[in-house]
Amino acid sequence: MRADDAESAAALAAAVIGAACREAVVERGMAAIALSGGETPWRMLGKFRTLALPWSSIFVAQVDERIAAHGDTSRNLTRMERILVVEGPLPPANLLAMPVENGDREAACTGYQQVLEALTGRPLVLDLVQLGLGTDGHTASLVPDDAVLDIVDRDVAVTGPYHGQCRMTLTLPALARARVRLWLVTGAAKASRLDELLDGNGDTPALRLPRDSTDVVADAAALRTRPV
């Protein structure tokens, strides 16, 4: 889906997420989604929270999170809490924070996976995961050459350092199992990587996810090399 600018792309993405939540609640009585961080997703969340949705039946997990203290400005959770809970309609208990403050990282990953499995079944199947696309082709916190890319038997793991911080992330199997994958990509800097994603050409982490059951929302700048 093509949008004129990042603001319009955020609105389109919010609508896709809202539709997935409504469908999940009708079919299964609840919706379990996972959201990424980044500047455009914050715009998207601001629009998402205004939608008329059965908020008490919607659970929001994290796609990834930096290993940092609660309230740290680098944390995705900090803005998610403010936008969706403090200033929005999501019940506090329905925002499922990655337990990155737990010093036992293996136990923290196992515990988060169990939280999601308790909601969605085992193996966990999220109704929708919203993903971004890095200029290096990473998605979630699945970055090139990280050992986490080779994990096939766990749905949550901790990465090595990336831009100075380790991160907790959903792994490729968890993302691949989601009922819907939604890519939100904006800005001219992402154009070449978006071309790879749309064409299915390349060897970056983003290209290791299935192409079926996938929606892509992008603005004109990110799509500048694509015909209208």
Q: Helix, strand or coil for residue 206?
A: helix
Q: Helix, strand or coil for residue 217?
A: strand
Q: Which domains does the chain have, with CATH numbers?
A: 2-219 (3.40.50.1360)
Q: Compute the CA torsion angle 146, 95, 67, 132 (nearest 10 deg).
A: 40
Mean pLDDT score, 110-115? 98
pLDDT at 98 over 70: yes
| Residues of the chain above pLDDT 70, percent | 99
Q: Using pLDDT thresholds of 50, 70 and 90, give the confidence band for residue 14.
A: very high
Tell me what pLDDT residue 134 has.
Answer: 87
pLDDT at 57 over 90: yes
For residues 49 and 76, is the Cβ–Cβ distance under 8 A? no
pLDDT at 228 over 70: no
Tell me what pLDDT residue 163 has.
Answer: 84
- DSSP letter, residue 71: T
pLDDT at 226 over 80: no
Tell me what pLDDT residue 224 has.
Answer: 86
Tell me what pLDDT residue 220 has.
Answer: 94
pLDDT at 39 over 80: no
Q: Using pLDDT thresholds of 50, 70 and 90, give the confidence band for residue 107.
A: very high
pLDDT at 27 over 80: yes
